[in-house]
Structure 1
Amino acid sequence: MAFPQTPIDLLAEMQIGGVWTDITADLYARAPLSIERGRPDESARVDPARVSFQLNNRGNAYSPRTPSSPNYGLIGRNTPVRFSLPATEAYMAIPAAAAAASTPDVAALDITGDIDVRADLRPDVWANDLPTGGWEVMGKYQVPSNQRSWALIVRASGTVQFRWSPDGTTVLTPESTVALPFRGRQRGAIRATLDVNNGAGGWTVVFYTAATMAGTWVQLGDPVTGTGVTSIFNSTAPLQVGDISNLGFTALARRYYAVEIRNGIGGSVVANPTFTALTAGTTPWSDSAGRSWTLTGQAAISQREYRAYAEVSAWPSRWDESGRDLYVPVEAAGIMRRLGQGAKPLASTLRRRIPRVGSPVAYWPMEEGRSATQAYSPVAGVAPLATVGFDYAADNTLSGSDPLPRLSAASSMSGVVPTYTATGSWLVACVFYWKEAPASDTVLLEFTTSGSAARVRLTGQSDGITLDGFTANGSSLFSLGLLTAGTDFYGAWNRLEINAVTSGGNVEYRVGWSNVSGDGWGNSSIVAATAGIPTSIATVFGALAEGVSIGHLGVFPSSNTDVYDGADDGYLRERASARITRLCSEENVPAAAERAETALGPQTSDTLLALLGKAEAADLGVLSEDREALGLRYRARTSYYNQPVALTLDYSVAGHVAPPLEPVDDDQRLRNDRTVQRDGGSSARAVDTTSPLSTQAPPAGVGVYDDSRTLSLGSDSQPADIAGWLLHLGTWDEARYPTVHVNLAAAPSLIPAILALDIGDRIQIINPPSWLPPGPIDLIVEGYTETIGHPNSWDVILNCSPAGPWTVAVTNDSTLARADTAGSQLNSGISSSATSLSVATTSGPIWTTAGAEFPFDIRVGGEVMTVSAISGASSPQTFTVTRSINGIVKSHLAGDDVRLAQPAYVSY
């Protein structure tokens, strides 16, 4: 890619009146665009992005308070801006909305036998926590009118699913046996083949991956087979690349570079939109197979790489002494700045979920303060719940709620349920904690309805519960008893559910409860009746209900009992990425989160950014701002493990590494005594007492560097593993390279890799100068400052940390599965050219002599050597080696430490 030579290469846009408008011509060249993203100097959290530039304001276009401005009323605080550069090739952009490239059904696409489908794309995330459990790649698949042929899906776990229907209705859904190897926003190609008749009385699906559509294709997991010869239904559905209409998956932003559909495995191509061959803005077009394509929704052919999305929070007008040079020095910021401005904690998980999911006709959380005398309802038009004898804010033990009231010996509650259109079913529910069964019958909940059961009452008993329904004249309509022995009705927080469902002339009345841990019990009775609607809460609690805790009383116009699910225990053991995705969805903050398996503790009341930060801290990943949209991105800790090098810089090539490159050998990240406390639970400690960075006093160690973290974790089994991993990170013995400077004006060949590089990616510097340790220098990008000037200056300063700690053990890998020695040293000194070493084992088992284990690398006094053989059944042993693998040539003394060059580190 040639280096940009004119200002037009940098595209600056502002959302004026809701429309993205080109403002590039108003950028002042005297103030280059500066973009700061990520973490500076390995800080604990990512800062909001900072974007600075100057705008020519001689026409008052950027004076939002000036009525004569052409943009008066169209710009203001937090007006979005974005900046982009030319991409190396075109692509089809699909936003996080319903959008696709579509071609109508034709005979060539009506494949009923073997099929081969391929896609080259780059989604925001591959494995995910989208609420619908995955996202669609492409398909000829319409649910309405049962016009299902086939579809390619990526599931939440990162596995690939090829689904098809032999008759338009029934669906087969085999998935790959392993997940895709790609990390978020990594380009990759996926492929699925279906052999409808594998010759063994069944069908076979095989999945593949490649770097791009050009291959080479590598089989993903094992073939998936099924019994019975199959076929693909000849539907009238169009072929859609992107969102498949009416399939119902959550929209996910992604780019497509190319797609192929083949009739037969490796057969003739019947559709092949190659988006890289198109010009930005193209629509419609025809592919080389003769298919006509159109774009739907906000799909677009683009060739831009977005460097920043930000919001302008202030418009400081400036001018020179003459008054002729009017300008605005803009400081825009990423979305984290705005999200961090408010300090209001989010409501409890129950208080947030119930109105949003259940659409209650009446709801009283009962999360009032200690001096309250009634319970407020957040549902419009619902009067407060009148209460007597409630000790508000007395019980804070339910994870999904703010403190709830306890009952006294003389308590009651009453409230009116607004009239609504009957649906034939209803649900009345609440959460409660009743420590032990009462000695005699005691009312827990009573309410009225307009149906045959004019009054419904739940009574707790010494050995069970009873749900009674009474007619308007007080006679019994039904009495539904249930023994509670072994069902946790008493002595645990439960969700109580009483519902009615109409079926013809009958109504099924049901009582059930679910422990917040997930176990549930229930019983039902069917009687000839009408359900009506609940009309009021009218409960006089018995004296033996003293001490019962109660709250989140809701009345719902359906019998759906999923309303409280997950929220009652604060989403205990929710995956870190699932919490980030859910919270951002609830707060309407665009976000893409890589799947992170770390199980979290209950969600507490805190600000949005604080809650997201707790998920980030527990998983040890990175939450940052998206540079391609005004939203957030989460990069999971596991995506750092053994990742490929995204950018290789050659110190010997001009511009690759501009001055200064300065290693720092300090104790900034040194921690050799780590304690991890589970919030509300137990703790674990990991201490290094043996390495050169151990807690021993110098020179054997460096002394004590301790710290303690309290994390939101799902169980007491987690702190030990996390403490061990943090100790590994904190005692990694390597110099830091805080910044790496790349001058793209001098090294334009690096532009494609720099455009793709993002926070968390791995880079290497090869051929370092002789005064530095031998390379490659292996680093993780924590953030960067990017300065783009007119017409052709472009500097990037990368904030970095060591990548070495993130190379972890892989089972059966020839290099990454080797356990290091517990202690070995040279038994005698060697010259700089010796190829035979005498090595004594000082601790643990001796070194292997098995021929299949060779070769492997060891490190002695900073020199890497390749071991081709070891002899000797006891210590000392004789090593046959090749010297100076890393360019170091030196002699070594007896007693020098001998270690694996790449020992296996078990990841958390």
Structure 2
Amino acid sequence: MAGLAARVAAWQRRMGGTPGPFGGSGEASDGSPVKVELFIAGAWVDITSLVMTRSGSEKISITRGQADEAGQTERSVCRFQLNNRNGYFSPRNPTSPYYGQIGRNTPIRVHVPDPSTGGKLYRFWGEISSWPTRWDTSGSDIWVDVDAAGILRRLAQGAAPTHSVLYNAITDPGFESLLAYWPCEDISGSISIASALTNGSTMTISGYPTLSYYQDFGSSDLLPDMTDATFSGGVQGYLTTSPAQCRFLLSIPPEGVSNGKVVCALVMKSSAVTTWELVYGTGGTLTLRVLDSTGATVSGGVSAFGDVRGKRLRVSIELQQNGSNIDCAVRYLEVTSTEATSATGTVTGKTMARVTDVKMAPAPVSGAVSRGLDFSTLGHVTLQNAITSMTDLGERLDPSGETAGARVQRICAEEGIPFDGLGDLSDTVTMGPQAKKKPIDLISEAAEADLGVLSENLAVFGLGYRPRTHLYNQDPALTLSYSSNQLSSSLDPVDDDQFTRNDVTVTRQDGGMAHAALTTGAMGTADPPTGIGVYGESVTLNVESDATLADQANWRLHMGTVDEARYPQISVNLAHATFVNNPALKAAVLSLRQGDRIVITSPPSWLPPDDISLIVLGLSETIDHFEHRITLNCAPESPYQVGVLDSAEHARLDTAGSELASALDSSTTSVSVSTTSGPVWTTDSADMPFDVRVGGEVMRVTAISGSSSPQTFTVTRSVNGIVKSHSAGVDVRLANPTTIAL
């Protein structure tokens, strides 16, 4: 019989089995007309009728998101087989109508209709990177095993950038009117300062700078110390009627440098004005001095202003012809600010020529002051023939202090990745410097620091981000009833230590560290039976400040010491009558996103009576002739119930330690409670009612009397359906205690 079954299966394969899993219309037994489409020749082409489902395991299979609590979001994957008897899906087959139009990274999407609106609900959006053709020995059954992946697969292939954030920002094609650019990020031992432009000249070095020294500009590689050093570079020709704008980074130590030192000099070809010197003066001021060809001072320029000592600055010298006069301005912007300090001036009756040379930290044309800027740094010197905003580099001028959500959004924009953000992207942790890493590694680094949810965007081939704060105190996106048979498999609770972490150390990259441990209680570090022993975790984060590390450690400790069973997977089958007959419920399942809250009500009697509240981490789904089965990967949702000021539901702090002062039977409603640690319980009637948990039973407290321990609680019993006798010394806790959020 086994041999006959094998022959029948082979006949089915050779004869084609079924033409596709859903017939010509794509109709599955649950009434879901799934569509599979390829992007070919600029249009989406429906290939559903050529998607094959066999009698065995082959079907449309999709996975996305996180597999479990410890993981990160993985690339989504969609697998199925395509009928290739006609050779349509052999990319190099010249008789295929798709010849030359399919191949590596052909876009693909899978969608089903929204049961509520009739619109499209995308299940997968990705690319097919290869087209492996298979056939049986008869040559009658020919197919392609499709293994498509979401955008994370391609992003992981990219190389890390070879240049700094600021270098890439300035050399971006969108940066305006760039005539010359010297990053000054040259390594120790270099004999000149390289130009970042292919047609640009190098800067010559005079003196003895310490190259690759200064690291406090977070958007730059190491910059030079300019003690006893001058850099000089020539500028390519440009229209003399254009403005001239020279910009650079500057850091002068808090104690300043010698008065009269020249920070920058611009030399013009031939004019009544030949040199513009930016001079450091008393009190950290800057002056723009104007000189003629003899070195004599020309009236005008910019008078002394500001104080640049001890700051990280972007400085701008701006020159522009205005009729018969030259308007000039000097501005500086602290890299962490958006407001520049400025001063302006006018040189009357003079005409500009083009800038031929840029000199950094030269000796003045006249005077006894020497070259160089003692213990000072400069770099990223640009010359443009346009006047632009001081904030034209945006966050790229100094990404330190940028919020995690904003960083994810910005990097996606810079890389041309479609982006969908949920919640307030500014309500996220602040990040440290942006290193030279792959864009996806920078994005993942931000998500790890914020502990939010990075996802692949199902509405388009892109990414999405959901901040941690958007996970707090959610209403359920989906509620399912166990007793109404709305699940397609058992609940399978797991009470283990797989994701337990009760001793956490968090380190900031190139910074300090903080430690948090739970030393008492059932999840504490004490040896059993008092606790569970030490479960350690060490994490390194790129956050802005050491001041946030203690909060990071304590939040991760909070997440790692959840004392409840896990329900790693929840499964539903949309072909079940429960969903076929309830379009709104079906739509709620299909609309679930990573990070959504789901609730399972009416659990079986052998489990705790409380509703099961979970966070969706990811999912897998299969679609064939008969089923559309979705399995959700989940984690406990309770850690995300956090405190909210002036909230009746989320503003109660738990006791530091309380227990029953005496035993009580199953009918007692007057309960004596002793406080063993911390303040006693509130007696204010305005704070009532609230729920406490005693030995697994939830009681509703309606009044408390007594200003010292023990106190008397008036309670309503069996709020959660459990009622029983309790011994003296049993722990008394809030049923829903408030947690202080990160």
Which of the five TM-score ranges fits, normalised by the shorter chain?
0.7 to 0.9
Distance in 2 (CA, whole Å) between partners of 1:414 and 1:780 is 59
Does the 8 Å contact 2:76/2:456 carry over to 1?
A: yes
Change (3 A) 1:712 1:695: same
Deviation at 1:19, TM superposition (A): 1.4
Q: Percent identity?
A: 41
Query: Does structure 1 residue 662 correspond to structure 2 residue 497?
Result: no
Query: Does structure 1 residue 317 correspond to structure 2 residue 133?
Result: yes
Residues 727-876 of structure 1 correspond to what in structure 2 (within 5 A)?
Answer: 727-746=557-576, 747-748=578-579, 749=582, 750-790=585-625, 792-876=626-710
Q: Give the 3-state SS of the residue equivalent to 2:443 in structure 1.
A: helix
Query: Does structure 1 residue 341 correspond to structure 2 residue 157?
Result: yes
Query: Does structure 1 residue 69 correspond to structure 2 residue 96?
Result: yes
Deviation at 1:24, TM superposition (A): 0.7
Task: Choose which of 292, 310, 327 in structure 2 pairs with 1:508.
Answer: 327
Change (3 A) 1:640 1:6: closer
Q: Could you state the TM-score of these two structures normalised by the residue count of structure 1?
A: 0.72
Distance in 1 (CA, whole Å) between partners of 2:644 and 2:84 is 58
Deviation at 1:377, TM superposition (A): 3.4
Deviation at 1:661, TM superposition (A): 2.0
Instruction: Report the counterpart of residue 350 of structure 1 in structure 2.
Output: 166
Distance in 1 (CA, whole Å) between partners of 2:82 and 2:502 is 50
Deviation at 1:375, TM superposition (A): 3.5
Distance in 1 (CA, whole Å) between partners of 2:589 and 2:240 is 60
Deviation at 1:49, TM superposition (A): 0.6
Distance in 1 (CA, whole Å) between partners of 2:256 and 2:677 is 61
The range that moved more, 620-629 or 850-859, is: 850-859
Instruction: Report the counterpart of residue 523 of structure 1 in structure 2.
Output: 343
Residues 348-747 of structure 1 correspond to what in structure 2 (within 5 A)?
Answer: 348-356=164-172, 358-359=175-176, 360-389=178-207, 390-407=209-226, 409=228, 411-420=230-239, 422-423=241-242, 425-435=243-253, 437-439=256-258, 441-449=260-268, 453-461=273-281, 464-472=285-293, 474-478=295-299, 480=301, 483=304, 487=307, 489-518=308-337, 520-528=340-348, 529-538=350-359, 540-541=362-363, 542-545=370-373, 547-563=375-391, 565-567=393-395, 570-594=398-422, 595-596=424-425, 597=427, 598-654=429-485, 656-746=486-576, 747=578
Instruction: Write the deviation string for residues 364-413 of structure 1: whole angstroms up to 9, x where unpaired.
Output: 21223334333343445333334445543233332110122334635432
Change (3 A) 1:373 1:72: farther
Instruction: Write the deviation string for residues 797-819 of structure 1: whole angstroms up to 9, x where unpaired.
Output: 11000001111122222232222
Does the 8 Å contact 2:116/2:587 carry over to 1?
A: no
Deviation at 1:68, TM superposition (A): 2.7
Change (3 A) 1:346 1:780: farther
Does the 8 Å contact 1:382/1:418 carry over to 2?
A: no
Task: Choose which of 36, 39, 46 in structure 2 pairs with 1:15.
Answer: 39
Does the 8 Å contact 1:400/1:567 carry over to 2?
A: no
Distance in 2 (CA, whole Å) between partners of 1:642 and 1:877 is 31
Distance in 2 (CA, whole Å) between partners of 1:573 and 1:756 is 34
Does the 8 Å contact 2:219/2:434 carry over to 1?
A: yes
Distance in 2 (CA, whole Å) between partners of 1:806 and 1:691 is 21
The range that moved more, 759-768 or 495-504, is: 495-504
Q: Give the 3-state SS of the residue equivalent to 1:339 in structure 2.
A: helix
Q: Give the 3-state SS of the residue equivalent to 1:586 in structure 2.
A: helix
Does the 8 Å contact 1:623/1:634 carry over to 2?
A: yes
- Gap regions ≥5 residues in structure 2: 1-26, 364-369
Alignment-mate amino acid for residue 534 of structure 1: V
Distance in 1 (CA, whole Å) between partners of 2:481 and 2:240 is 72
Does the 8 Å contact 2:518/2:557 carry over to 1?
A: yes
The range that moved more, 794-803 or 722-731, is: 722-731
The range that moved more, 546-555 or 466-475, is: 466-475
Distance in 2 (CA, whole Å) between partners of 1:59 and 1:386 is 67
Deviation at 1:12, TM superposition (A): 0.6
Larger radius of gyration: 2
Change (3 A) 1:8 1:808: closer
Instruction: Report the counterpart of residue 99 of structure 1 in structure 2.
Output: none
Residues 49-448 of structure 1 correspond to what in structure 2 (within 5 A)?
Answer: 49-90=76-117, 303-345=119-161, 347-356=163-172, 358-359=175-176, 360-389=178-207, 390-407=209-226, 409=228, 411-420=230-239, 422-423=241-242, 425-435=243-253, 437-439=256-258, 441-448=260-267
Deviation at 1:465, TM superposition (A): 4.3
Task: Choose which of 711, 715, 718 in structure 2 pairs with 1:877.
Answer: 711
**Structure with greater strand percent:** 1
Distance in 2 (CA, whole Å) between partners of 1:504 and 1:83 is 63
Q: Give the 3-state SS of the residue equivalent to 2:114 in structure 1.
A: strand
RMSD: 2.5
Q: Give the 3-state SS of the residue equivalent to 1:310 in structure 2.
A: strand
Distance in 2 (CA, whole Å) between partners of 1:364 and 1:312 is 42
Does the 8 Å contact 2:621/2:628 carry over to 1?
A: yes
Alignment size in residue pairs: 691
Distance in 1 (CA, whole Å) between partners of 2:565 and 2:374 is 64
Deviation at 1:663, TM superposition (A): 1.2
- Gap regions ≥5 residues in structure 1: 91-301
Instruction: Write the deviation string for residues 216-262 of structure 1: whole angstroms up to 9, x where unpaired.
Output: xxxxxxxxxxxxxxxxxxxxxxxxxxxxxxxxxxxxxxxxxxxxxxx
Change (3 A) 1:812 1:524: closer
Change (3 A) 1:478 1:330: farther
Distance in 2 (CA, whole Å) between partners of 1:800 and 1:617 is 18
Does the 8 Å contact 2:336/2:398 carry over to 1?
A: no
Task: Choose which of 34, 37, 43 in structure 1 pairs with 2:61.
Answer: 34
Change (3 A) 1:351 1:478: farther
Distance in 1 (CA, whole Å) between partners of 2:708 and 2:257 is 73
Deviation at 1:462, TM superposition (A): 6.1
Change (3 A) 1:327 1:388: farther
